[in-house]
Amino acid sequence: MKIKLDRTLCDGFGKCAEHAPTVFSLDEWGYASLAGSAEVPADLEPQVRRAILDCPVDAILERLATPAGRLTPPAGELAPQPGPA
Ligand code: SF4
Nearest CA residue ID for atom 8, ligand 1: 10
Q: Is residue 26 part of a domain?
A: yes
pLDDT at 79: 59
Distance 14 CA to ligand 1 centre (A): 5
Quick one: which atom of ligand 1 is closest to the CA of 51? Answer: 1
Q: pLDDT tens for residues 30-57?
A: 999 999 899 999 999 999 999 999 999 9
C-alpha distances out from residue 84 to 36, 38, 81, Å? 44, 38, 10
Query: What does the pLDDT average to over 22-33?
Result: 96
Mutate which of 3, 6, 16 for ligand 1? The one with the most ligand atoms within 8 Å of its CB, which is 16
- The boundaries of the domain holding residue 27 are 2-63
pLDDT at 56: 96
pTM, rounded to two decimals: 0.78
Q: Is residue 24 part of a domain?
A: yes
Answer yes or no: is pLDDT of 23 > 70: yes
Q: Is residue 82 part of a domain?
A: no
Answer yes or no: is pLDDT of 85 > 80: no
Please tell me the total count of domains within the chain: 1
**Considering only CA atoms, which of 5, 1, 23, 11 is closest in space to residue 74?**
5
